[in-house]
Structure 1
């Protein structure tokens, strides 16, 4: 069972840059559910999309897999024969806890977990690639090359699912959606202090792109379509198809 996220509930003399360490892992399910509008829907539909586009004898990647929510969502679906799910995360604490979570799951689709840098991995024979709130933590100068490598590894008919916190090019719209997101967090029990301190911790760690930037990057890399299928405030999920 997840602990309640109270990491920023007391005033901090120094706010360190946000890291996916053991303290975050211990409260992560509560943190992301109370912080990301639409998160349960995105995770549930990740599995549905995977079931639609997964191909027999192929790999399904979950990049930045954290505690394995997207893996479990895909694994619960009737996937084609000889599919393999590969989860990759650069946080040792996340991977260790993810293994424990998967040990309690009775579904039988094979899963391989790796603790690695997703920008340094070689990908192949993919029919589904998932990056749920992952690309935003990759250094901006590495994002184009990563997406190009992922699209190159996709089979024809394969998909990428990319969910992100996004920015808006119009300043007033960007501010409105940030304000709505902060109100969402307050209504989920976070105090103004928690909202402010978490924002300071994650600033310069989570770097947002616009939806337009994401779409252009995917199309330039060789996807034939890239469209938003879910959005709530400044959180969006895009599905991109390689025909």
Structure 2
């Protein structure tokens, strides 16, 4: 896996472009997400642990917005159900190419892993197969708000009885003081991981038009509107959280 440090926003930029999952981001993505998302390694590994409780024989497990395949690798390490397979989907060609390389490396290190198919596609246009587990790990926040409920409704329709959706997202908070506190604590987390004030400010500018977080209440209401019967938060660290939604 790439060890290149994230220095994408370290120098003053004359114009901060909207954030995109391009080749430059792919090269530094493991370092970027580890230093930017508190609890990320814990979330990823435990998605695999949780998935093992919901995965059913002869079914599909989806990793939607798979980026470099961290969740896919966790699913393959933990799920032992017979004849399961993973479908990893991302719309970035650079991500898909590097993800395929990482999964090939995983195949060489472990035996009897679940088969995996990596697809370059828009998840909004994907024809879902019957699935026992769907992971949306920091993906929904990059989809336009009006398209979120239709996507979740289609995922709900594809889920088998007894399956689950695992949804991880950055949160915003309706209480202004709570939002301000957790935002400042998140900035402190990034400072502690070596990001400068310039890097923090420029990356915030790059993300403000493309990453649009919801509150926990909005996630819960939308998931229930999509047809899920129960929504259970299982992890939160600062303003990042992960939920289990049951059909």
Q: Under a length normalisation based on structure 1, what TM-score does the superposition of the two structures give?
A: 0.98
In 2, Cα distance between the equivalents of 1:223 and 1:157? 12
Superposed counterparts of 1:145-224, under 5 Å: 145-224=150-229
Structure 2 runs not aligned, ≥5 long:
none
In 1, Cα distance between the equivalents of 2:79 and 2:180? 42
Report how far residue 77 of structure 1 moved. 1.2
Superposed counterparts of 1:114-125, under 5 Å: 114-125=119-130
In 1, Cα distance between the equivalents of 2:192 and 2:29? 18
Structure 1 runs not aligned, ≥5 long:
none
Local SS of the residue matching 2:26: helix
Report how far residue 220 of structure 1 moved. 1.5
Q: Which residue of 1 aligns with 2:45?
A: 44
Checking the alignment, whether the CA contact within 8 Å between 2:59 and 2:132 is kept in structure 1 is yes
In 2, Cα distance between the equivalents of 1:43 and 1:227? 17
Report how far residue 194 of structure 1 moved. 0.4
Local SS of the residue matching 2:171: strand
Number of corresponding residues: 242
Q: Which residue of 2 aligns with 1:72?
A: 73
In 2, Cα distance between the equivalents of 1:69 and 1:58? 20
Report how far residue 216 of structure 1 moved. 1.0
Please give the root-mean-square deviation of Cα atoms over the aligned residues, in Å: 0.8
In 1, Cα distance between the equivalents of 2:234 and 2:174? 20
Q: Which residue of 1 aligns with 2:84?
A: 83
- The list of structure 1 runs, each at least 4 consecutive aligned residues, that deviate by more than 4 angstroms after superposition, is none
Report how far residue 2 of structure 1 moved. 2.4
Report how far residue 218 of structure 1 moved. 1.1
In 2, Cα distance between the equivalents of 1:208 and 1:2? 29
Report how far residue 104 of structure 1 moved. 0.6
Q: Which residue of 2 aligns with 1:240?
A: 245
